[in-house]
Structure 1
Amino acid sequence: MKQSDIYRDNADNCLQLAERAEGQPAHKRYSRMADAWTALANEQDWLDGEVPPVAVRAPPKRKA
């Protein structure tokens, strides 16, 4: 199993905990944790070369 898959499993677990959470603070906390695990999974995919880097466009130059 790839490391990014493990991270996505962790994100799924956090989402399940968020659904069962009692109270808004706990729900928000688990949702933020799920977002963080998903970001880590995407980053790991990039590090493993499975996702190409995103080209960043420079803003157009202004004429003086």
Structure 2
Amino acid sequence: MRQSDLLRENAENCLQLAEQAARGPAFKRYTRMAQGWVALANAQDWLDGEVPPLGDPRSDHPRT
């Protein structure tokens, strides 16, 4: 399993906890934590070469 998949699982766990919290500070906290885990997963995908960096001119044009 890729590291980014594990990070996304952490995000999913946080979202499940947010659902259980329903509202209030705990809901907001778990939602923010989930967003953080997703950001880390996206960064890990980039580090692993899964996605091109933003603003990379090669990402706008297919290779010929």
| Range with greater deviation from structure 2 (21-30 or 7-16) | 21-30
Structure with bigger gyration radius: 1
Give the total of aligned pairs: 56
Aligned to 1:12: 12
RMSD: 1.3
Structure 1 residue 5: deviation in Å?
A: 0.1
What are the ranges of 5 or more consecutive residues in structure 2 without an aligned counterpart? 57-64
Q: How does 1:1-64 map to 2 (within 5 A)?
A: 1-21=1-21, 23-55=23-55
Structure 1 residue 16: deviation in Å?
A: 0.3
Structure 1 residue 23: deviation in Å?
A: 4.2
SS in 2 for 1:49: coil
C-alpha distance in 2 between matches for 1:38 and 1:18: 15
Calculate the TM-score normalised by the size of structure 2: 0.83
Runs (4+) off by over 4 Å: none
Calculate the TM-score normalised by the size of structure 1: 0.83
Structure 1 residue 22: deviation in Å?
A: 5.3
Q: Which has the higher helix share?
A: 2
What are the ranges of 5 or more consecutive residues in structure 1 without an aligned counterpart? 57-64
